[in-house]
Structure 1
Amino acid sequence: MVFRFTVPFGILLAGSAAHTGAAQTLDRLLTDPDEIAAQCGGQASAGEPLFQENCAACHSLTVEGDQSKGPHLAGLYGRAAGGVADYDYVSDLPGRDVTWEGDTLRPFLSGETGIEGHPVIEPEQVRRDLLTYVRIHTRPAPPAPEEVEVPADVLAMSGDAEYGAYLAGDCVSCHNAAAEATGMETIYGRGVETFLTLMYQYKARAIGTETMQLYATSLGDDEMAALAAYFEGADS
Protein backbone atom coordinates (compact mmCIF):
# COMPACT_ATOMS: atom_id res chain seq x y z
CA MET A 1 0.00 0.00 0.00
CA VAL A 2 1.38 3.39 -1.00
CA PHE A 3 0.07 6.90 -0.47
CA ARG A 4 1.45 10.09 -1.96
CA PHE A 5 1.57 12.91 0.58
CA THR A 6 2.82 16.39 -0.10
CA VAL A 7 2.23 17.74 3.39
CA PRO A 8 4.36 16.97 6.45
CA PHE A 9 3.39 14.10 8.67
CA GLY A 10 2.48 14.69 12.27
CA ILE A 11 3.59 12.59 15.19
CA LEU A 12 3.41 8.85 15.39
CA LEU A 13 5.08 7.99 18.64
CA ALA A 14 6.18 4.35 18.70
CA GLY A 15 5.60 2.18 21.68
CA SER A 16 8.34 0.17 23.31
CA ALA A 17 9.58 -2.87 21.44
CA ALA A 18 8.24 -6.28 22.29
CA HIS A 19 9.85 -8.28 25.08
CA THR A 20 11.77 -10.18 22.44
CA GLY A 21 13.75 -7.01 21.84
CA ALA A 22 12.57 -6.63 18.26
CA ALA A 23 12.87 -3.09 16.93
CA GLN A 24 9.72 -1.07 16.54
CA THR A 25 8.62 -0.56 12.95
CA LEU A 26 8.44 3.09 11.91
CA ASP A 27 5.09 3.35 10.15
CA ARG A 28 3.98 6.92 9.61
CA LEU A 29 0.78 5.84 7.88
CA LEU A 30 -0.52 3.87 10.83
CA THR A 31 -3.71 5.60 11.96
CA ASP A 32 -6.06 2.89 13.24
CA PRO A 33 -6.18 3.18 17.07
CA ASP A 34 -6.58 -0.58 17.46
CA GLU A 35 -3.53 -1.25 15.30
CA ILE A 36 -1.53 1.35 17.19
CA ALA A 37 -2.48 -0.19 20.52
CA ALA A 38 -1.57 -3.65 19.25
CA GLN A 39 1.81 -2.47 18.02
CA CYS A 40 2.62 -0.49 21.14
CA GLY A 41 1.28 -3.18 23.46
CA GLY A 42 -0.55 -0.78 25.76
CA GLN A 43 -3.89 0.83 26.58
CA ALA A 44 -4.43 4.48 25.77
CA SER A 45 -7.00 4.84 28.54
CA ALA A 46 -4.37 3.80 31.06
CA GLY A 47 -1.76 6.03 29.45
CA GLU A 48 -3.72 9.29 29.59
CA PRO A 49 -3.40 9.85 33.37
CA LEU A 50 0.26 8.82 33.13
CA PHE A 51 0.88 11.53 30.55
CA GLN A 52 -0.94 14.14 32.60
CA GLU A 53 0.99 13.18 35.73
CA ASN A 54 4.46 12.79 34.25
CA CYS A 55 4.69 14.69 30.96
CA ALA A 56 2.03 17.37 30.49
CA ALA A 57 3.71 19.89 32.79
CA CYS A 58 6.57 20.23 30.30
CA HIS A 59 5.43 18.80 26.97
CA SER A 60 2.46 19.57 24.76
CA LEU A 61 1.18 17.08 22.21
CA THR A 62 0.55 19.88 19.71
CA VAL A 63 2.62 22.65 18.19
CA GLU A 64 0.24 25.23 19.66
CA GLY A 65 0.96 24.18 23.25
CA ASP A 66 3.15 25.90 25.82
CA GLN A 67 6.88 25.35 25.21
CA SER A 68 8.25 27.36 28.10
CA LYS A 69 9.44 24.19 29.88
CA GLY A 70 9.93 21.65 27.12
CA PRO A 71 9.60 21.18 23.35
CA HIS A 72 6.29 20.05 21.91
CA LEU A 73 5.97 16.39 20.93
CA ALA A 74 4.16 16.91 17.62
CA GLY A 75 6.07 15.14 14.89
CA LEU A 76 8.28 13.35 17.43
CA TYR A 77 8.28 9.90 15.87
CA GLY A 78 10.82 9.91 13.06
CA ARG A 79 12.16 13.32 14.10
CA ALA A 80 15.83 13.96 14.85
CA ALA A 81 16.58 14.77 18.49
CA GLY A 82 16.68 18.51 19.04
CA GLY A 83 14.57 19.05 15.97
CA VAL A 84 12.00 21.59 17.15
CA ALA A 85 12.75 24.96 15.60
CA ASP A 86 13.10 27.94 17.92
CA TYR A 87 13.41 25.81 21.06
CA ASP A 88 16.51 26.43 23.17
CA TYR A 89 17.77 22.92 23.89
CA VAL A 90 20.34 22.08 26.54
CA SER A 91 23.60 21.83 24.59
CA ASP A 92 24.85 18.68 26.33
CA LEU A 93 21.55 16.78 26.25
CA PRO A 94 22.30 13.05 25.80
CA GLY A 95 21.24 11.40 22.58
CA ARG A 96 21.44 14.41 20.28
CA ASP A 97 22.35 12.22 17.29
CA VAL A 98 19.33 9.90 17.40
CA THR A 99 16.00 9.71 15.67
CA TRP A 100 13.09 9.40 18.05
CA GLU A 101 11.24 6.09 18.05
CA GLY A 102 10.38 3.47 20.65
CA ASP A 103 13.88 2.16 21.24
CA THR A 104 15.49 5.59 21.44
CA LEU A 105 12.84 6.95 23.79
CA ARG A 106 13.30 4.02 26.17
CA PRO A 107 16.47 5.41 27.87
CA PHE A 108 14.71 8.69 28.62
CA LEU A 109 11.64 6.98 30.03
CA SER A 110 13.53 4.36 32.04
CA GLY A 111 16.00 6.80 33.61
CA GLU A 112 19.05 5.41 31.83
CA THR A 113 20.16 8.85 30.63
CA GLY A 114 20.29 10.24 34.13
CA ILE A 115 18.78 13.61 33.19
CA GLU A 116 18.07 15.52 36.37
CA GLY A 117 14.38 16.10 36.93
CA HIS A 118 13.22 13.84 34.10
CA PRO A 119 10.53 11.42 35.36
CA VAL A 120 11.29 7.71 35.36
CA ILE A 121 8.42 5.66 33.95
CA GLU A 122 8.31 2.03 35.08
CA PRO A 123 7.61 -0.81 34.85
CA GLU A 124 7.65 -1.71 31.14
CA GLN A 125 3.87 -2.04 30.80
CA VAL A 126 3.38 1.44 32.21
CA ARG A 127 5.73 2.81 29.53
CA ARG A 128 3.73 0.95 26.90
CA ASP A 129 0.47 2.45 28.12
CA LEU A 130 1.95 5.95 28.14
CA LEU A 131 3.39 5.66 24.63
CA THR A 132 0.18 4.13 23.29
CA TYR A 133 -1.78 7.13 24.53
CA VAL A 134 0.67 9.63 23.05
CA ARG A 135 0.87 7.85 19.72
CA ILE A 136 -2.90 7.58 19.30
CA HIS A 137 -3.56 11.17 20.29
CA THR A 138 -0.87 12.60 18.03
CA ARG A 139 -1.61 10.72 14.83
CA PRO A 140 -0.64 12.45 11.60
CA ALA A 141 -3.04 15.05 10.28
CA PRO A 142 -5.00 13.65 7.35
CA PRO A 143 -3.95 14.79 3.88
CA ALA A 144 -6.27 16.66 1.54
CA PRO A 145 -8.27 14.26 -0.66
CA GLU A 146 -6.40 15.33 -3.79
CA GLU A 147 -3.10 14.39 -2.14
CA VAL A 148 -4.06 10.71 -1.95
CA GLU A 149 -3.07 8.64 -4.96
CA VAL A 150 -3.90 5.00 -5.65
CA PRO A 151 -0.77 3.03 -6.66
CA ALA A 152 -0.62 2.08 -10.32
CA ASP A 153 -0.32 -1.62 -9.50
CA VAL A 154 -3.58 -1.47 -7.53
CA LEU A 155 -5.36 0.34 -10.35
CA ALA A 156 -4.12 -2.39 -12.70
CA MET A 157 -5.59 -5.19 -10.60
CA SER A 158 -8.29 -7.32 -12.15
CA GLY A 159 -10.78 -7.44 -9.31
CA ASP A 160 -12.84 -10.57 -8.69
CA ALA A 161 -16.43 -9.31 -8.96
CA GLU A 162 -17.83 -12.54 -7.53
CA TYR A 163 -15.67 -12.16 -4.45
CA GLY A 164 -16.70 -8.52 -4.36
CA ALA A 165 -20.37 -9.54 -4.27
CA TYR A 166 -19.60 -11.65 -1.21
CA LEU A 167 -17.81 -8.76 0.49
CA ALA A 168 -20.48 -6.23 -0.47
CA GLY A 169 -22.81 -7.32 2.30
CA ASP A 170 -20.98 -5.03 4.70
CA CYS A 171 -21.45 -2.12 2.29
CA VAL A 172 -25.07 -2.52 1.27
CA SER A 173 -26.26 -2.69 4.86
CA CYS A 174 -25.87 1.11 4.74
CA HIS A 175 -25.49 1.95 1.06
CA ASN A 176 -28.82 0.78 -0.28
CA ALA A 177 -31.75 2.22 -2.21
CA ALA A 178 -33.56 3.32 0.95
CA ALA A 179 -30.52 5.16 2.25
CA GLU A 180 -29.84 6.77 -1.11
CA ALA A 181 -33.41 8.14 -1.10
CA THR A 182 -32.44 10.14 1.98
CA GLY A 183 -29.36 11.61 0.34
CA MET A 184 -26.63 9.03 1.01
CA GLU A 185 -24.24 8.84 -1.91
CA THR A 186 -24.60 5.78 -4.12
CA ILE A 187 -21.69 3.40 -4.57
CA TYR A 188 -23.28 1.52 -7.50
CA GLY A 189 -22.05 2.11 -11.01
CA ARG A 190 -18.86 3.85 -9.94
CA GLY A 191 -15.87 3.32 -12.15
CA VAL A 192 -13.10 1.17 -10.69
CA GLU A 193 -10.63 4.05 -10.41
CA THR A 194 -13.19 6.30 -8.74
CA PHE A 195 -14.16 3.59 -6.26
CA LEU A 196 -10.55 2.76 -5.39
CA THR A 197 -9.66 6.42 -5.02
CA LEU A 198 -12.50 6.89 -2.55
CA MET A 199 -11.40 3.85 -0.56
CA TYR A 200 -7.83 5.09 -0.38
CA GLN A 201 -9.06 8.49 0.73
CA TYR A 202 -11.04 6.84 3.50
CA LYS A 203 -8.00 4.77 4.44
CA ALA A 204 -5.88 7.93 4.67
CA ARG A 205 -8.61 9.67 6.75
CA ALA A 206 -8.83 12.35 4.05
CA ILE A 207 -12.61 11.96 3.82
CA GLY A 208 -15.47 10.25 5.58
CA THR A 209 -16.54 9.17 9.01
CA GLU A 210 -14.43 7.17 11.45
CA THR A 211 -16.59 4.12 10.67
CA MET A 212 -15.71 4.29 6.98
CA GLN A 213 -12.08 5.08 7.70
CA LEU A 214 -11.70 2.04 9.93
CA TYR A 215 -13.57 -0.17 7.46
CA ALA A 216 -11.33 0.91 4.58
CA THR A 217 -8.27 0.33 6.74
CA SER A 218 -9.41 -3.25 7.34
CA LEU A 219 -9.43 -4.05 3.60
CA GLY A 220 -6.52 -5.31 1.56
CA ASP A 221 -5.90 -4.11 -1.98
CA ASP A 222 -7.34 -7.32 -3.46
CA GLU A 223 -10.52 -6.86 -1.45
CA MET A 224 -10.91 -3.25 -2.53
CA ALA A 225 -10.33 -4.24 -6.16
CA ALA A 226 -12.95 -6.96 -5.84
CA LEU A 227 -15.50 -4.53 -4.41
CA ALA A 228 -14.68 -2.00 -7.14
CA ALA A 229 -15.25 -4.62 -9.83
CA TYR A 230 -18.55 -5.69 -8.29
CA PHE A 231 -20.03 -2.23 -7.73
CA GLU A 232 -18.98 -1.02 -11.19
CA GLY A 233 -21.43 -3.42 -12.78
CA ALA A 234 -23.99 -3.91 -10.01
CA ASP A 235 -27.45 -2.37 -9.95
CA SER A 236 -28.79 -0.84 -6.75
Structure 2
Amino acid sequence: MTAPIRVLVCDDQALIRTGFATIIDAQPDMEVIGECGDGRTAVEMARKLGPDLVVMDIRMPVLDGIEATRRLAGAGVEDPIKVLVVTTFNLDEYVYEALRAGASGFLLKDAPPAQLLHGIRTVATGAALIDPEVTRQLVGKFAARIRPADVQATEPALTPRELEVLRLIADGQSNSEIAATLVISQETVKTYVSRILTKLDLRDRVQAVVYAYRHGLAS
Protein backbone atom coordinates (compact mmCIF):
# COMPACT_ATOMS: atom_id res chain seq x y z
CA MET A 1 0.00 0.00 0.00
CA THR A 2 1.17 3.52 -0.80
CA ALA A 3 1.30 6.16 1.89
CA PRO A 4 -1.75 8.43 2.04
CA ILE A 5 -1.58 11.98 0.72
CA ARG A 6 -0.91 14.20 3.74
CA VAL A 7 -3.02 17.37 3.50
CA LEU A 8 -3.00 20.65 5.43
CA VAL A 9 -6.26 22.60 5.17
CA CYS A 10 -6.14 26.39 5.48
CA ASP A 11 -9.32 28.48 5.39
CA ASP A 12 -10.50 31.26 7.71
CA GLN A 13 -14.10 30.01 7.67
CA ALA A 14 -14.38 27.24 10.26
CA LEU A 15 -17.37 25.53 8.65
CA ILE A 16 -15.67 25.31 5.26
CA ARG A 17 -12.39 24.22 6.81
CA THR A 18 -14.12 21.48 8.79
CA GLY A 19 -16.13 20.41 5.77
CA PHE A 20 -13.02 20.05 3.63
CA ALA A 21 -11.23 18.14 6.37
CA THR A 22 -14.16 15.75 6.82
CA ILE A 23 -14.38 15.00 3.10
CA ILE A 24 -10.62 14.51 2.76
CA ASP A 25 -10.21 12.38 5.89
CA ALA A 26 -12.93 10.03 4.68
CA GLN A 27 -10.73 8.95 1.76
CA PRO A 28 -8.55 5.86 2.22
CA ASP A 29 -5.68 7.47 0.29
CA MET A 30 -5.69 10.80 2.15
CA GLU A 31 -5.26 12.17 5.64
CA VAL A 32 -5.60 15.66 7.10
CA ILE A 33 -2.55 16.39 9.25
CA GLY A 34 -3.61 19.86 10.31
CA GLU A 35 -6.05 22.76 9.97
CA CYS A 36 -5.58 26.51 10.33
CA GLY A 37 -7.33 29.80 9.62
CA ASP A 38 -4.67 32.19 8.33
CA GLY A 39 -1.73 32.20 5.96
CA ARG A 40 1.00 32.76 8.53
CA THR A 41 -0.09 29.73 10.54
CA ALA A 42 -0.31 27.73 7.30
CA VAL A 43 3.32 28.51 6.51
CA GLU A 44 4.45 27.66 10.04
CA MET A 45 2.48 24.41 10.16
CA ALA A 46 3.55 23.37 6.66
CA ARG A 47 7.22 23.84 7.49
CA LYS A 48 6.79 21.89 10.72
CA LEU A 49 4.56 19.06 9.49
CA GLY A 50 5.74 18.73 5.89
CA PRO A 51 2.41 17.97 4.16
CA ASP A 52 2.30 16.68 0.60
CA LEU A 53 -0.17 19.43 -0.26
CA VAL A 54 -1.85 22.49 1.23
CA VAL A 55 -5.47 23.32 0.40
CA MET A 56 -5.28 27.11 0.56
CA ASP A 57 -7.90 29.85 0.65
CA ILE A 58 -6.92 33.26 -0.77
CA ARG A 59 -8.67 35.85 1.36
CA MET A 60 -7.54 35.33 4.96
CA PRO A 61 -6.42 37.48 7.90
CA VAL A 62 -2.84 37.98 9.14
CA LEU A 63 -1.30 36.69 5.89
CA ASP A 64 -3.30 36.09 2.74
CA GLY A 65 -3.15 32.94 0.67
CA ILE A 66 -1.10 34.56 -2.08
CA GLU A 67 1.84 35.43 0.14
CA ALA A 68 1.52 32.15 2.02
CA THR A 69 1.67 30.31 -1.30
CA ARG A 70 4.72 32.31 -2.36
CA ARG A 71 6.52 31.37 0.85
CA LEU A 72 5.68 27.70 0.44
CA ALA A 73 5.94 27.15 -3.31
CA GLY A 74 7.41 30.27 -4.90
CA ALA A 75 10.55 30.60 -6.97
CA GLY A 76 13.68 29.91 -4.99
CA VAL A 77 11.92 28.14 -2.12
CA GLU A 78 13.91 25.18 -0.87
CA ASP A 79 11.81 22.02 -0.68
CA PRO A 80 8.62 23.67 -2.02
CA ILE A 81 5.24 22.33 -0.93
CA LYS A 82 2.43 21.90 -3.44
CA VAL A 83 -0.53 24.26 -3.04
CA LEU A 84 -4.09 23.82 -4.29
CA VAL A 85 -5.95 27.13 -4.13
CA VAL A 86 -9.67 26.84 -3.38
CA THR A 87 -11.63 30.08 -3.44
CA THR A 88 -15.18 31.41 -3.60
CA PHE A 89 -14.77 33.60 -6.66
CA ASN A 90 -13.94 32.18 -10.07
CA LEU A 91 -12.87 35.61 -11.32
CA ASP A 92 -11.21 36.77 -8.13
CA GLU A 93 -8.56 39.33 -9.09
CA TYR A 94 -6.14 37.61 -6.75
CA VAL A 95 -6.33 34.18 -8.36
CA TYR A 96 -3.83 34.94 -11.13
CA GLU A 97 -1.38 36.31 -8.58
CA ALA A 98 -1.78 33.15 -6.50
CA LEU A 99 -0.92 31.02 -9.52
CA ARG A 100 2.10 33.18 -10.24
CA ALA A 101 3.09 32.79 -6.60
CA GLY A 102 3.49 29.06 -7.16
CA ALA A 103 0.10 27.39 -6.72
CA SER A 104 -0.26 24.20 -8.76
CA GLY A 105 -4.03 24.20 -8.93
CA PHE A 106 -7.18 26.25 -8.64
CA LEU A 107 -10.71 25.17 -7.80
CA LEU A 108 -13.92 26.84 -6.70
CA LYS A 109 -15.37 26.21 -3.25
CA ASP A 110 -18.72 25.29 -4.76
CA ALA A 111 -17.14 22.47 -6.77
CA PRO A 112 -18.54 19.04 -5.89
CA PRO A 113 -16.55 16.97 -3.38
CA ALA A 114 -15.41 14.59 -6.11
CA GLN A 115 -13.77 17.46 -7.96
CA LEU A 116 -11.94 18.60 -4.84
CA LEU A 117 -10.64 15.08 -4.24
CA HIS A 118 -9.62 14.75 -7.88
CA GLY A 119 -7.80 18.07 -7.61
CA ILE A 120 -5.88 16.94 -4.54
CA ARG A 121 -4.86 13.69 -6.18
CA THR A 122 -3.86 15.45 -9.40
CA VAL A 123 -1.73 18.13 -7.73
CA ALA A 124 -0.18 15.61 -5.32
CA THR A 125 1.19 13.63 -8.28
CA GLY A 126 3.05 16.71 -9.50
CA ALA A 127 0.56 17.69 -12.19
CA ALA A 128 -1.34 20.98 -12.34
CA LEU A 129 -5.07 21.51 -12.29
CA ILE A 130 -7.20 24.45 -13.35
CA ASP A 131 -10.76 24.00 -14.47
CA PRO A 132 -10.71 24.72 -18.25
CA GLU A 133 -13.66 27.13 -18.16
CA VAL A 134 -12.16 28.99 -15.21
CA THR A 135 -8.88 29.25 -17.10
CA ARG A 136 -10.62 30.83 -20.08
CA GLN A 137 -12.47 33.34 -17.92
CA LEU A 138 -9.44 34.16 -15.81
CA VAL A 139 -6.98 34.83 -18.61
CA GLY A 140 -9.66 36.56 -20.64
CA LYS A 141 -10.41 39.08 -17.91
CA PHE A 142 -6.80 39.69 -16.91
CA ALA A 143 -5.09 39.40 -20.31
CA ALA A 144 -3.80 42.98 -20.03
CA ARG A 145 -2.03 42.13 -16.78
CA ILE A 146 -0.77 38.78 -18.01
CA ARG A 147 0.53 40.21 -21.27
CA PRO A 148 1.78 43.79 -20.85
CA ALA A 149 1.25 46.04 -23.86
CA ASP A 150 4.99 46.41 -24.45
CA VAL A 151 5.64 42.67 -24.64
CA GLN A 152 5.90 41.59 -28.26
CA ALA A 153 4.80 38.18 -29.47
CA THR A 154 7.76 35.81 -29.45
CA GLU A 155 8.41 32.44 -30.96
CA PRO A 156 10.14 30.18 -28.44
CA ALA A 157 12.30 27.24 -29.51
CA LEU A 158 9.32 24.97 -30.07
CA THR A 159 8.24 22.99 -33.11
CA PRO A 160 5.04 24.09 -34.90
CA ARG A 161 3.14 21.21 -33.28
CA GLU A 162 4.47 22.08 -29.82
CA LEU A 163 3.37 25.69 -30.33
CA GLU A 164 -0.05 24.42 -31.32
CA VAL A 165 -0.28 22.32 -28.15
CA LEU A 166 0.91 25.26 -26.03
CA ARG A 167 -1.84 27.48 -27.44
CA LEU A 168 -4.44 24.82 -26.67
CA ILE A 169 -3.12 24.51 -23.12
CA ALA A 170 -3.47 28.30 -22.79
CA ASP A 171 -7.05 27.98 -24.02
CA GLY A 172 -7.72 25.76 -21.02
CA GLN A 173 -8.00 22.47 -22.87
CA SER A 174 -7.28 19.23 -21.04
CA ASN A 175 -5.07 16.50 -22.51
CA SER A 176 -8.13 14.61 -23.73
CA GLU A 177 -9.54 17.75 -25.39
CA ILE A 178 -6.21 18.51 -27.04
CA ALA A 179 -6.01 14.92 -28.29
CA ALA A 180 -9.48 15.22 -29.81
CA THR A 181 -8.71 18.61 -31.38
CA LEU A 182 -5.47 17.44 -32.98
CA VAL A 183 -6.66 13.86 -33.63
CA ILE A 184 -3.76 12.31 -31.75
CA SER A 185 -3.51 10.05 -28.70
CA GLN A 186 -3.46 11.33 -25.13
CA GLU A 187 -0.05 9.71 -24.67
CA THR A 188 1.26 11.78 -27.57
CA VAL A 189 -0.21 14.91 -26.00
CA LYS A 190 1.53 14.08 -22.71
CA THR A 191 4.82 13.76 -24.61
CA TYR A 192 4.34 17.17 -26.23
CA VAL A 193 3.41 18.78 -22.91
CA SER A 194 6.51 17.31 -21.28
CA ARG A 195 8.73 18.62 -24.08
CA ILE A 196 7.18 22.08 -23.86
CA LEU A 197 7.73 22.32 -20.12
CA THR A 198 11.32 21.11 -20.46
CA LYS A 199 12.22 23.43 -23.35
CA LEU A 200 10.72 26.49 -21.69
CA ASP A 201 11.96 25.54 -18.22
CA LEU A 202 8.43 25.62 -16.79
CA ARG A 203 7.23 23.75 -13.72
CA ASP A 204 3.75 22.79 -14.88
CA ARG A 205 0.72 23.64 -17.05
CA VAL A 206 -0.13 26.65 -14.92
CA GLN A 207 3.19 28.26 -15.78
CA ALA A 208 2.67 27.24 -19.42
CA VAL A 209 -0.60 29.19 -19.52
CA VAL A 210 1.03 32.25 -18.00
CA TYR A 211 3.99 31.97 -20.39
CA ALA A 212 1.75 31.74 -23.45
CA TYR A 213 -0.20 34.87 -22.52
CA ARG A 214 2.81 36.89 -21.44
CA HIS A 215 4.56 36.17 -24.73
CA GLY A 216 1.64 36.81 -27.04
CA LEU A 217 1.18 33.18 -28.03
CA ALA A 218 -2.48 33.05 -27.00
CA SER A 219 -5.44 35.39 -27.11
When normalised by structure 2's length, the TM-score is: 0.31
More helix by share: 2
Q: Higher relative contact order by CA 8 Å / sep ≥ 6: 1 or 2?
A: 1
| Higher strand proportion (structure 1 or 2) | 2
